[in-house]
């Protein structure tokens, strides 16, 4: 198979191993509902300021092999970006590149070598953070597309690598050609099974889906844990019970959330209770809070049916219409035929669902970079000029929608203006998911632009302008043109129903081969926020000083986390106690001990062994500065001694 070669390849293929491990220093927490509280939020959302090569390595102890969804937008190497090669690789051919702005074609004959040298170690670290079934998507232009594909083939040999062409503008003339597109390189499993995408058509599919949300439980979402009451004579929803969160707040339940019992006897007389339990009998939560269920039932968006699963505690199943289908109903692309007899539940026409396969050409106008520019200008006018072609939040939402589950963690190590976090928040707001994000940005604007944009998306921002939405859109085909009068009537009906939501509505008009009605919302002062929280970090001190010893400026807990990770390849979660001062944890019968004092030399001896080892195990690995125990004694007690700092592994 052809391979990619470049200046300095032999020096960078293992450069990720030489990158110093630096700790992450928490600078502040941000909460949209409490702006004064700067303490750590533990929300799972992170923004990290620092070189992404070092930051990726700092994530390893906690996230190695755990991240399922990664999107990055690295420099395209167009010759206009003013990006700088910064990696300190010990090679004379590469050292001379340090700190130099990468030049244009013809001016800088090594510009492509610099780009590949920059990307290779970052992709290697990303590969280590990826879970086995993870997906990576990379935005790129034509300048480095082929280099990137060969890099990915070398680093991800078992993955499927597919290029998707995305129209991102109305055209950028250059050299007699009009460039309309960029690329997304998908690095996914051979048996990749994408999620449904809102923007592309698929095959007919039943519109209603199960209301249970199996990825969460009553402890993680007590506000979505409650009974729904059904009248068995009419098979209609007649009410909902109090949520577990309400019971806790009212003092009616004082136990642990996970011990809460789904009680069917609480159903009012003449009704039966339905609790959130999957078809396989797993207790979980509903996708919606109680008030949303009641409102959607009245609108016809909820369906009640007899449960066909044998030996299931629920007599009925509850189904709902996803947001994408509700939008289709509102804009007329999904026909409403009527209502179920005696119920508000809608009877719908053929639902040509979103495609289950990712198309290799994306041409939606919502994906144009002008949409990204407008979004950034509206949210953060002061940051607009730093980014020539910011990505559209809708484009990144589509990428994340295709490859993520509702509770996935999304990593972006080239964060720029923070579009990925914006897209994650929008997507969660749309489908009720709880995706988290980690952004890494090395430039000085990481706080004042990247983090600031995320803050404003969460809290809301001053905005004077307008937004537009297609509230009706019917594709014009030879078949339905014959029904033009009916289509126009349908458009007018939907326009009348939704008129209160908008400042103004267009008349039905033909646009993009569709009959459309466009709703416009005019904002005079403020755009509401989505809500949320995150933690902001800076790259701190390296774990080892220049002499190879443990850096005394590093917090001891961070050193312990590092040592435990190098031994077990897992994250240290056990809390330290006075009784187990030197114990890291016991794993698979092995007790790991770190006998370390910041301002003293520690010696493992007969007199100290008893105070160091505090938990019985089959074997012991003990770090200390010195050891006076004989080989026989070490063997007798199954102790492996390791010297601080020389025998602490580097990774």
Q: For the segment 386-436, what is each residue's pLDDT rounded down to a tens digit? A: 787 889 999 999 999 999 998 899 999 999 999 999 999 998 887 778 899
- Lowest pLDDT segment from 113-127, 194-208, 449-463, 552-566: 194-208
Of all residues in the chain, what percent are helix, strand and coil, respectively (each to 5)? 30, 30, 40
Task: Give one DSSP letter per residue of 366-382, joined into a string.
Answer: GGSHHHHHHHHHHH-GG
By CB atoms closer than 10 A (0-12, 13-18, 19+), residue 306 is exposed
User: Does residue 204 carry a pLDDT above 60?
Assistant: no
- Lowest pLDDT segment from 141-150, 299-308, 466-475, 630-639: 466-475
Backbone angles phi, psi at 527, to 5 degrees: -105, 125
User: Does residue 354 carry a pLDDT above 80?
Assistant: no
User: Does residue 505 carry a pLDDT above 70?
Assistant: yes
User: How many whole angstroms separate alpha carbon 286 and alpha carbon 299?
Assistant: 18
- Lowest pLDDT segment from 199-213, 264-278, 443-457, 537-551: 199-213
Which range is most confident: 303-312, 371-380, 610-619?
610-619
For 561-610, write each residue's pLDDT tens digit: 999 999 999 999 999 999 999 999 999 999 999 999 988 999 999 999 99
Three-class DSSP labels, 534-591: EEEEEEEEECECCCCCECCCCCHHHHHHHHHHHHHCCCCCCCCCHHHCCEEEEECCEE
Share of the chain above pLDDT 90, in %: 62
For 138-168, write each residue's pLDDT tens digit: 999 999 999 999 999 999 999 999 999 999 9
Which range is most confident: 207-216, 377-386, 447-456?
447-456
pLDDT tier, 202 (very low <50, low <70, confident <90, very high otherwise): very low
For 107-132, write each residue's pLDDT tens digit: 888 999 999 999 999 999 999 999 99
Share of the chain above pLDDT 70, in %: 97
User: Does residue 24 carry a pLDDT above 90?
Assistant: yes
Mean pLDDT of 619-631: 97
pLDDT number for residue 104 = 86
Mean pLDDT of 3-7: 88
User: Does residue 27 carry a pLDDT above 70?
Assistant: yes
Task: Decide which of 99 and 206 is more confident.
Answer: 99
Three-class DSSP labels, 6-33: CCCHHHHCCHHHHCCCEEEEEEEEEECC
User: Does residue 203 carry a pLDDT above 50?
Assistant: no
Task: Decide which of 526 and 287 is more confident.
Answer: 287
Task: Decide which of 630 and 429 is more confident.
Answer: 630
Query: 342: alpha, beta or left, given left = phi > 0 and alpha = psi -120 to 50?
Result: left
- Average pLDDT of the chain, as a whole number: 90
pLDDT number for residue 355 = 54
Q: What is the reported pTM?
A: 0.77
- Report the chain's C-alpha Rg in angstroms: 29
Q: Which of 589, 528, 596, 535 is nearest to 561 (CA)?
A: 596
């Amino acid at each position: 198979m052809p391979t990619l070669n470049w200046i300095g390849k032999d020096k960078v293929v293992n450069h990720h191993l030489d990158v110093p491990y630096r700790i992450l220093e928490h600078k502040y927490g941000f909460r949209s509902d409490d702006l004064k509280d700067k303490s750590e939020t533990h929300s799972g959302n992170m923004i990290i300021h620092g070189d992404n090569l070092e930051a990726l390595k700092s994530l390893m102890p906690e996230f190695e092999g755990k991240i399922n969804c990664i999107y990055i937008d690295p420099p395209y190497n167009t010759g206009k970006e003013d990006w700088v090669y910064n990696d300190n690789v010990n090679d004379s051919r590469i050292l001379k590149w340090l700190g130099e702005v990468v030049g244009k074609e013809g001016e800088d004959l090594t510009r492509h070598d610099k780009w590949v040298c920059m990307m290779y170690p970052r992709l290697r670290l990303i590969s280590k953070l990826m879970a086995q079934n993870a997906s990576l998507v990379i935005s790129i232009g034509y300048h480095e597309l082929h280099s990137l594909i060969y890099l990915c083939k070398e680093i991800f040999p078992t993955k499927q690598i597919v290029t998707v062409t995305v129209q991102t503008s109305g055209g950028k003339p250059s050299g007699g050609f009009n460039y309309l597109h960029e690329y997304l390189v998908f690095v996914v499993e051979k048996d990749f099974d994408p999620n449904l995408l809102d923007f592309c058509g698929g095959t007919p599919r039943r519109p209603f889906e199960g209301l249970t949300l199996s990825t969460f439980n009553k402890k993680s979402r007590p506000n979505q844990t409650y009974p729904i009451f059904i009248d068995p004579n009419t098979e209609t929803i007649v009410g909902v019970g109090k949520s577990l969160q309400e019971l806790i707040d009212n003092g009616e339940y004082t136990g642990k959330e996970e011990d809460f019992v789904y009680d069917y006897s609480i159903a009012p007389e003449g009704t039966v209770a339905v609790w959130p339990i999957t078809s396989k009998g797993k207790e979980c939560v509903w996708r919606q809070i109680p008030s949303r269920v009641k409102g959607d039932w009245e609108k016809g968006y909820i369906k009640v049916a007899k449960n066909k699963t044998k030996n299931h505690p629920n007599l009925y199943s509850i189904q709902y219409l996803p947001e994408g289908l509700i939008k289709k109903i509102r804009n007329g692309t999904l026909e409403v035929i009527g209502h179920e007899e005696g119920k508000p539940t809608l009877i719908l026409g053929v639902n040509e669902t979103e495609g289950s396969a990712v198309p290799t050409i994306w041409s939606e106008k919502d994906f144009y970079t002008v949409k990204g520019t407008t979004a950034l200008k509206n949210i953060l006018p002061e940051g607009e000029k730093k980014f020539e072609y910011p990505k559209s939040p809708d484009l990144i939402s589509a990428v994340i929608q295709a490859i993520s589950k509702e509770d996935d963690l999304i990593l972006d190590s080239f964060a720029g203006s923070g579009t990925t976090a914006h897209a994650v928040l929008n997507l969660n707001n749309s489908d009720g998911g709880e995706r988290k994000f980690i952004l890494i940005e090395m430039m000085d604007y990481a706080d004042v632009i990247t983090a600031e944009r995320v803050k404003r998306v969460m809290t809301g921002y001053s905005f004077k302008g307008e937004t537009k939405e297609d509230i009706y859109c019917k594709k014009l085909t030879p078949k339905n043109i014959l029904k033009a009068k009916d289509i126009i009537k349908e458009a007018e009906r939907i326009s009348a129903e939704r008129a209160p939501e908008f400042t103004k509505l267009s008349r039905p008009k033909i646009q993009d081969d569709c009959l459309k009605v466009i709703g416009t919302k005019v904002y005079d002062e403020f755009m509401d926020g989505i809500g949320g929280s995150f933690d902001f970090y800076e790259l701190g001190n390296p774990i080892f000083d220049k002499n190879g010893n443990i850096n005394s400026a590093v917090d001891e807990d961070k050193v312990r986390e590092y040592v435990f990770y190098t031994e077990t390849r897992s994250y240290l979660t056990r809390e330290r106690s006075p009784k187990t001062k030197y114990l890291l944890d016991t794993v698979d019968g092995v007790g790991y001990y770190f006998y370390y004092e910041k301002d003293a030399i520690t010696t493992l001896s007969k007199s100290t062994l008893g105070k160091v080892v505090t938990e019985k195990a089959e074997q012991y690995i003990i770090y200390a500065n010195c050891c006076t125990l004989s080989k026989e004694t070490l063997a007798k007690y199954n102790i492996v001694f390791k010297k601080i700092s020389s025998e602490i592994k580097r990774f």
